[in-house]
Structure 1
Amino acid sequence: MNGTLYLCATPIGNLEDITLRVLRILKEADLIAAEDTRHSIKLLNHFEIKTPMTSYHEFNKVSKARSLVDRLHEGMNIALITDAGTPGISDPGEELVRLCHEEGIPVTSLPGASACITALSGSGQKTGRFCFEAFLPSDKKLRSKILEELKTETRTVIFYEAPHRLEKTLQEILQVLGDRNISLCRELTKKFEQIERTTLAEAVDKYKNHEAKGEFVLVMEGRSFSEMEAEERKSWEEKTIEEHFQFYIEQNIEKKEAMKLVAKDRGIPKREVYNTLLEEKETESK
């Protein structure tokens, strides 16, 4: 009979942010797989947990996942923990969870601390719709591609960033996406926790002359629909109504529908489009 993989959320700073259920599972599990055993032993010692540990990290995630799955098949119950927060979110746990599902091994996630949700809820930005980008990739081309994709993202966007890369990342985001409202959330749940709601331009200016300290979660507002519609309308207005109409005709769209689309794009009545096209036609026939 297979054992169960338990994803156990651990504190992101304040040790009081661990749940009673996580503490019980960590004590009852046959084995704890930890991202960094040297880091996690401090947590286990604090709560007097004696369960054996093994390392499971980015550099052994493929081979070790296979080994852990074999143990789960033997009936062992394994608790997976990351250095901080919820396992499987922007860390090697994703590989192990995927493999367990493929092999029919039960997986259960124990809710708890999460840096991205903690930052979002206290950011002062819109929380109804959001996307999580974690750390932007180090590869320059891929990094650039992702930022280009985010130009039209209307949801609130969440990034993680280390202090030594903060200034560069803020500059890149500002350069590609333009100025936006952003909340810089630092050292969450810890003694020097700080949530600063500002703009990208102001943040770049500040960290040019101010050393960043602590791990950051950046919560940035998305593009507004009205702003994008205004930009699209402006781009259409660079064409004449006749050119705009011909654009749709060349796509094999019927004349009535083409006029309707032109009116919608430009935010004008359909009658105005019709009259302009009629005038153009009459002028050409003279």
Structure 2
Amino acid sequence: MRGKVYLIPTTLGDTEPLEVMPISVKKVIERLDYFIVENEKSARRFIKKITPNKSQPSLKLMLIDKYSDELEVQHYLDVCEDGISVGVLSEAGVPAVADPGANVVKLAHEKGIQVVPLVGPSSIIMAVMASGMNGQSFAFNGYLPIDKGSRKKMIKDLERLSKEKDQSQIFIETPYRNEKLLEDLKTILQPHTRVCVACDITLPTEYIKTLTAKQWKAEKTALHKRPAIFIIHQ
């Protein structure tokens, strides 16, 4: 029997794993020795935290990031042919959503290997849940352009799309530029356009608020270096 590919969620910050994910995740990790990860150090830390008795020397970690050799990655799932299952770990949240793990999932389908997604925290979905915006139709747009002119155009385009399609528009920013992005949203968007800021999701410092662009101008925030999701809807 072939091995499977398990998509294993991780915590969104320094929280106890079993406070935000089911015991089934722990049970799967206990059975696996092969993992595809973005960062070996943080992956080992997470595995040790959720399964403290698991042998660390037995772990076989394969790296996948922007520096990974594509030819080498093509062989990461070869062990599945021998009945060995492999786990895919993201750096934060669920694998394969805004995450390089999507390439591994694509490879698994090409090879006819069963993919098993496990339940866990997704900052994108949790932000939509808590935003009060349209949860029937939404789009994740990744990072906005850094160039000032291109960024302004993208923000206006997303605002227009949100109105035309009645669709919530989601995006993220590098944490140290969060404050600047919020300032841009306050000045570029129409005053009545709603903006949700959701940061530190699942952490004790969690902050989720939806206001109009005009209302945000009177709001004091401290978003610097805090992982955040932004959603707009006109």
TM-score between both structures, scaled by the size of structure 2: 0.80
CA offset at residue 79 of structure 1? 0.4
Secondary structure, counterpart of 1:68 in structure 2: coil
How high is the sequence identity, in percent, across the aligned residues? Answer: 25
Secondary structure, counterpart of 1:197 in structure 2: strand
Residues 131-210 of structure 1: pairs in structure 2 closer than 5 A: 131-138=139-146, 146-147=154-155, 149-150=157-158, 151-153=160-162, 154-173=166-185, 177-179=189-191, 180-203=193-216
Larger RCO (CA under 8 A, 6+ residues apart): 2
Residues 17-96 of structure 1: pairs in structure 2 closer than 5 A: 17-47=20-50, 48=52, 49-50=54-55, 52=59, 53-60=61-68, 62-96=70-104
Residues 227-238 of structure 1: pairs in structure 2 closer than 5 A: none
CA offset at residue 4 of structure 1? 0.9
Q: Distance in 1 between the 2:69 and 2:202 partners?
A: 29
Q: Distance in 2 between the 1:123 and 1:157 partners?
A: 11
- Of structures 1 and 2, the larger Rg is shown by 1
Secondary structure, counterpart of 2:224 in structure 1: coil
CA offset at residue 184 of structure 1? 0.9
Q: 1:204 to 1:59 in 2, by over 3 A?
A: farther
Q: 1:102 to 1:143 in 2, by over 3 A?
A: farther
CA offset at residue 138 of structure 1? 4.8
CA RMSD of aligned residues (A): 2.7
Show the counterpart of 2:5.
5
Point out where structure 2 has 5 or more consecutive residues left out of the alignment: none
**Per-residue displacement from partner, 1:161-216 (whole Å, max 9, x unpaired)?**
23321233334445654341111111111121111222334546757x96624111
CA offset at residue 8 of structure 1? 1.0
Q: Which structure has the highest helix share of the two?
A: 1
Q: Distance in 2 between the 1:203 and 1:19 partners?
A: 36
CA offset at residue 141 of structure 1? 8.1
Q: 1:129 to 1:66 in 2, by over 3 A?
A: same
Secondary structure, counterpart of 1:90 in structure 2: coil
Q: 1:201 to 1:39 in 2, by over 3 A?
A: farther
CA offset at residue 73 of structure 1? 3.0
Q: Which structure has the highest strand share of the two?
A: 2
Show the counterpart of 2:136.
128
CA contact under 8 A between 2:176 and 2:226: conserved in structure 1?
no
Show the counterpart of 2:122.
114
CA offset at residue 111 of structure 1? 2.0
CA offset at residue 107 of structure 1? 1.1
Q: Distance in 1 between the 2:117 and 2:197 partners?
A: 28
TM-score between both structures, scaled by the size of structure 1: 0.67
